[in-house]
Amino acid sequence: MLFLGLGLVLLALKYLEIGAVATWSWLIVLAPFGLAVLWWSWADWSGYTKRKVVERENARKAERIARQREKLGMPPNKRR
């Protein structure tokens, strides 16, 4: 997301001819979009994206279980 945001800002600055970015080459201005594609490709290929999703789901599940145990008056789970 960082590369995409940076690319959008640079693109807007270049299009509106604001500041020093107006004199930069289009290759430099569009480079963050290429880096974003490379990052997303690597993240999908390496399993990084799926691993982060699973970690987030597991954390939500553990939090939900802890809340339910607390509501039932049971002691917290010690097996973490």
The DSSP annotation for 1-38 comes to -HHHHHHHHHHHHHHTT-GGGGGS-HHHHHHHHHHHHH
pLDDT band at 7; cut points 50, 70, 90: very high
Tell me: do 54 and 28 sit in the same domain.
no
| Domain coverage including residue 13 | 1-45
Residues 7 and 40 in one domain: yes
- 28 in the same domain as 1: yes
Whether residue 24 sits in one domain with residue 55: no
Task: Provide the pLDDT for residue 75.
Answer: 84
- Indicate whether 39 and 1 sit together in one domain: yes
Total structural domains within the chain:
2
Query: Are 24 and 63 in the same domain?
Result: no
Q: How high is the mean pLDDT of the chain?
A: 92
pTM of the model: 0.66
Q: Mind listing the pLDDT tens digit for each residue in 40-66? A: 999 999 999 899 999 999 999 999 999
Mean pLDDT of 70-79: 82
The answer to whether residues 39 and 53 belong to one domain is: no
